[in-house]
Amino acid sequence: MQDDVLIVHGGSPLEGEVRVKGAKNLVPKAMVAALLGEEPSRLRNVPGIRDVHIVRGLLQLHGVAVYEGDEPDELVMDPSSVELANVADIDAHAGSSRIPILLCGPLLHRIGRAFIPDLGGCRIGDRPIDFHLNVLREFGATVDKRPEGLYLEAPNGLHGAKIELPYPSVGTTEQVLLTAVRAEGTTELRNAAVEPEIIDLICVLQKMGAIISVATDRVIRITGVERLGGYTHRALPDRLEGASWACAALATQGDVFVRGARQLDMMTFLNVFRQVGGAFSVEDEGIRFWHPGGRLRAIALETDVHPGFQTDWQQPLVVALTQATGLSIVHETVYESRLGFTSALNQMGATIQLYSECLGGTPCRFGQRNFQHSAVISGPAKLHGADLVIPDLRGGFSYLIAALAAEGTSRVHGIDLINRGYEGFHTKLAALGARVELPPQQSGIAVAADAAGAVHSVA
């Protein structure tokens, strides 16, 4: 598809301002939470990204009325007529996102059964759903796995459980929250994930009437209630998008004010950004990120669950690390296959070597298992333009950063994938002075994306 290629002329710094709205990894889940209520919910600061449109479609299939609110970027969801959706209609969403798995608990509570299509999401590892199915069974659900998807029922209702996760999985923690809030009795979840987006989901559920406490030792306790109401909530800002723009500023020697970025959610990132040699200033309305001149410093870094260095920050930062002097080490401990994108950076002139050993940090789940999950980046490298094919969401944005930092012209294929998680990224790039255009057949005009994430051209 012609629209799916972006031509990027690199070599000039990104300068100006972008705004980040609600977090991609919270908004679709807060939309699912609305299913649990018996009154309408209002979600604010909703970005126009593909994942939001997918969940909106899924909610509508289940009888939830979803419409725009009075405020800009506000969605209203009215779940008063929730019903079982047609399997074939739900199946049309197969492979589009990972969010459908989170509908299990809410649908079991509301209508006693659920059908979940085959999941999608970024190919950054195997991404199994075993933890999800195990916890649902602990609550009393039956799961029938068929080729087209999962059929779930709860013949005796859902009951609170004592659960310990083998790993602090974000999605499974959300699964437990969305199921336990209306299960009979109390639930204790050990080794829970506590990412800021999870805490924000807990805030949403508490507004609806849930009783949830979070202890400092990754233990979450939930007391089930019989009824939940609606909520009005402003989604926390997207700290992953914020960090992506920060890395773009650093790699292109630019200066970008990210309106909406919040220090509290980005503390770990900010520390690393400073260690590498980037400068930032925290202001009331956002955070300004810039390259202060001089050399960037090589670092050793390990990704981890919150409050560690988020895996989704890793890919954009690696592009900036190609510009640092010396050897940087990155140990990816959350996903086993999130470094494959570096081969394209090497094609552009970077020197990045992958290893299957756990380098520079503590041994992780992937050591001794032949997954290339550690990288040594030797810099600074002079990047040059190339033909690139986007592999996944964050890897894709990282290719854009690399193309912008490189000398010469790159053709980036598969840019539509970026619309899954970055609202109007073309418009934002143009606002920062990036020189991007559609292929020559379309006369080299700037491009923008509408709220649905569809690409169209602007004069």
Q: Which residues are annotated as a binding site for UDP-N-acetyl-alpha-D-glucosamine?
A: 98, 312, 334
Binding mask 416-455 for ligand EPU (x = CB under 6 A): -----x----------------------------------
Residue 54, interface with ligand EPU (CB under 6 A)? Answer: no
> Do residues 398 and 315 lie in contact, with contact meaning Cβ atoms separated by under 8 Å?
yes
Contact between 162 and 186 (Cβ < 8 Å) = no
**CB 284, min distance to ligand EPU, A:** 27
Q: Kindly tell me which of 73 and 312 has the beta carbon lying closer to ligand EPU.
A: 312
Work out how close the CB of 272 gets to ligand EPU at its nearest, in angstroms, rounded to a whole number.
16
Rule CB under 6 A: say whether 333 interacts with ligand EPU.
no
Residue number of the CB atom closest to ligand EPU: 171
Of 39, 333, 339, which is closest to residue 167 (Cα–Cα)?
333
25/253 with CB nearer ligand EPU: 25
CA 161 to chain centre: 28
Binding residues for ligand EPU, how many (CB under 6 A)?
A: 27
Known binding site: residues? 24-25, 98, 312, 334
The torsion angles phi and psi of 179, rounded to 5 degrees, stand at -95, -40
Rounded Cα–Cα distance for residues 269 and 440 (Å): 38
Q: Letter for the amino acid at 187?
A: T
The footprint of ligand EPU on residues 178-237 (CB under 6 A) is: 193, 195
> Does 307 sit behind a cis peptide bond, omega within 30 degrees of 0 on the bond before it?
yes
Asked if 125 contacts 335 with a C-beta cutoff of 8 angstroms, the reply is yes
Q: Partners of 7 in the beta sheet?
A: 411, 437
Catalytic pick among 104, 122, 358, 364? 122
- Residue 367, number of CB atoms within 10 A of its CB: 17
Site residues for ligand EPU, 229-258, by CB under 6 A, read 240
In the annotated binding site for phosphoenolpyruvate, the residues are 24-25
Among 115, 131, 269, 280, binds ligand EPU (CB under 6 A): 131
- Which x/- pattern, by CB under 6 A, does the window 72-101 give for ligand EPU? --------------------------x---
> In sequence order, what are the residues at sequence separation of 6 or more whose Cβ sits closer than 8 angstroms to the Cβ of residue 192?
165, 168, 173, 176, 198, 214, 218, 219, 220
Q: Is 25 in the site for ligand EPU (CB under 6 A)?
A: yes
Pairing of strands 286-290, 351-355: unpaired
Q: From the list 50, 288, 394, 428, which residue makes contact with ligand EPU (rule: CB under 6 A)? A: 394
- Which letter, b or e, does each residue of 112-151 get, where b requires 16 or more Cβ atoms within 10 Å of its Cβ? ebbbbbebbbbebbeeebebbbebbebbbbebeeeeebbe
Q: Among 20, 90, 108, 129, indicate the residue that binds ligand EPU (CB under 6 A).
A: 129
The yes or no reply on residue 322 touching ligand EPU (CB under 6 A) is no
Q: Is 122 a catalytic residue?
A: yes
**Residue written as tokens 């499974």?**
172
Q: CA 56: distance to chain centroid? A: 17
Of the candidates 197, 451, 144, 195, which has an alpha carbon nearest to the alpha carbon of residue 308?
Answer: 195
Using DSSP's 3-state secondary structure scheme, residue 131 falls into helix
Tell me: does residue 127 bind ligand EPU (CB under 6 A): yes
Give me the least distance between CB of 381 and ligand EPU, in Å please: 25
- Minimum distance between the CB of residue 2 and ligand EPU, rounded to whole angstroms? 26
By CB under 6 A, residue 169 contacts ligand EPU? yes
Find the helix or strand (DSSP H, E) in which 387 lies: strand 387-389
Summarize as ranges the residues that interact with ligand EPU (CB under 6 A). Answer: 24-25, 98, 122, 125-132, 167, 169-172, 193, 195, 240, 311-312, 334-335, 393-394, 421
**Residues classed as catalytic:** 122
